[in-house]
């Protein structure tokens, strides 16, 4: 039984340390806002015309 208590105690200490580190990061670290630029290929914005839609018949 002492080894079970020792194991649970070590697990609780590790979980508390991880929780404390996450709490500290969430509380004291502020992210820096910055501009994000995403390049979109022109083929996705203006797809080539296939001629199926908007064609006129003569």
Domain definitions of the chain by residue range: 1-29
Is the pLDDT at 57 greater than 80, yes or no? no
d(CA 45, CA 50): 15
Q: Is the pTM of this model over 0.75?
A: no
End-to-end CA distance of the chain: give it in Å, rounded. Answer: 92
- pLDDT above 90 as % of the chain: 59
């Amino acid at each position: 039984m002492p080894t079970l208590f020792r194991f649970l105690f070590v697990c609780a200490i590790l979980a508390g340390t991880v929780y404390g580190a996450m709490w500290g990061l969430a509380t004291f670290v502020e992210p820096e806002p910055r501009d994000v630029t995403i390049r979109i290929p022109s083929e996705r914005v203006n797809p080539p015309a296939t001629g199926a839609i908007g064609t006129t018949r003569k």
